[in-house]
Amino acid sequence: MEEKKRNIIFSGAQPTSELTLGNYLGAIKNWVALQEENDCIFSVVDMHALTVRQDPKKLRERIIELLALYMACGIDPNKSVLFVQSHVSAHAELAWILNCFTYMGELSRMTQFKDKSQKHADNINAGLFTYPVLMAADILLYQANLIPVGVDQMQHIEITRDIAQRFNAIYGDVFTIPEGYLSKTGAKIMSLAEPTKKMSKSDDNANATIFLTDEPDAIVRKLKRAVTDSEALVAYREDKPGVMNLINILSAVTGEGVESIEARFAGRGYGDFKAEVAQAVVEFLRPMQEKRKALLQDRAYLEQIYREGAEKARARADRTLRKVYKKVGFVL
């Protein structure tokens, strides 16, 4: 019998702060599902995090915490390669090469660059500008063909494809051309305070974001304050972004369909609805939070995981890097 072709999957998140419910529903939830049938590689992308100022002590802690969180969410190091980006030097090396095949014009069109340079006007560094090139290197090193991300990252997947195609057109078939992969309900979880903006871990408003490590009372409080509208109708409509977002959240954490949620809350107010969303989120996060805590007690085990992960990742990444070095004309 012919074996079904396994996809090569790559994704990562930055250890810049605690992850949010948006990160989980938009990205990590998909990763866990995908690892069962595919060849998956997941990274804590610490080099990307350096594009905004980080406190070294905190960054070190967050890298380990994010690794533990991945595992608490269900990423299994026996099924997937799990590693820290800076442990595999090929990422920086390929990023340099790809920088020479990427145009200033295309980088300056990136929405994330425009947003972040506004937010950090005092530190518009070159790394922030070439961030998508490092991301392209992450993906292309492993010949990944499917990249599970939230909607906000699709533009970076597009530029990765453009860079890969440009390189292949000159040197032959070196890179696999990757595609983005979006989840159905959680692809864009919005801010609780301004539901037309995405839920972001770097939001200044503490009530806008649910963090995966939030205590139950914080979750209840934030959802109680979530911005909705004055219509008091639980309906999934574009002109009700706050309500739509809460329905999306409830549906994503319980698996209940949108119509069923609308029907159950017909004639009931937002108070009931928000309380149920809060309860569902609390119950959903509890097992993961407990597992994360337990993992963080065993640093030696976590260290073993990231060391072994780096070794596996390095072997694969070096294969592509050597091929690239040869193609561009470096002496090996």
Residues from 6 through 35 that contact ligand LTN (CB under 6 A): 10-14
Burial of 66 (0-12, 13-18, 19+ CB in 10 A): buried
**Contact mark string toward ligand ATP, 167..196, x via CB under 6 A:** -------------------xxxx-------
Catalytic residue among 79, 188, 201, 327: 201
Catalytic residue among 4, 5, 114, 116: 116
Closest CA to 88 of 43, 143, 136, 31: 43
Closest CA to 187 of 18, 10, 66, 28: 28
Q: Which of 13, 63, 128, 253 binds ligand ATP (CB under 6 A)?
A: 13
In contact, 40 and 81? CB cutoff 8 Å: yes
Size of the site for ligand ATP (CB under 6 A): 21
CB of residue 88 to ligand ATP, shortest distance in Å: 18
Nearer to ligand ATP, 112 or 168 (CB): 112
Q: Is the dihedral of CA 27, 33, 35, 38 positive or negative?
A: negative
DSSP-derived secondary structure letter, 152: G
Q: Is 201 tagged catalytic?
A: yes
**Contact mark string toward ligand LTN, 48..87, x via CB under 6 A:** x---------------------------------------
**Contact mark string toward ligand LTN, 187..206, x via CB under 6 A:** --------------------
Rounded distance between C-alpha atoms, residue 69 and residue 76, angstroms: 11
Rounded distance between C-alpha atoms, residue 320 and residue 322, angstroms: 5
Rounded distance between C-alpha atoms, residue 309 and residue 295, angstroms: 17
CB of residue 148 to ligand ATP, shortest distance in Å: 7
Instruction: Examine residue 200 and tell whether it contacts ligand ATP (CB under 6 A).
Output: yes
Rounded distance between C-alpha atoms, residue 127 and residue 120, angstroms: 13
Active-site residue numbers? 116, 198, 201
Which residues bind to ligand LTN, rule: CB under 6 A? Answer: 10-14, 45, 48, 135, 138-139, 147, 149, 153, 156
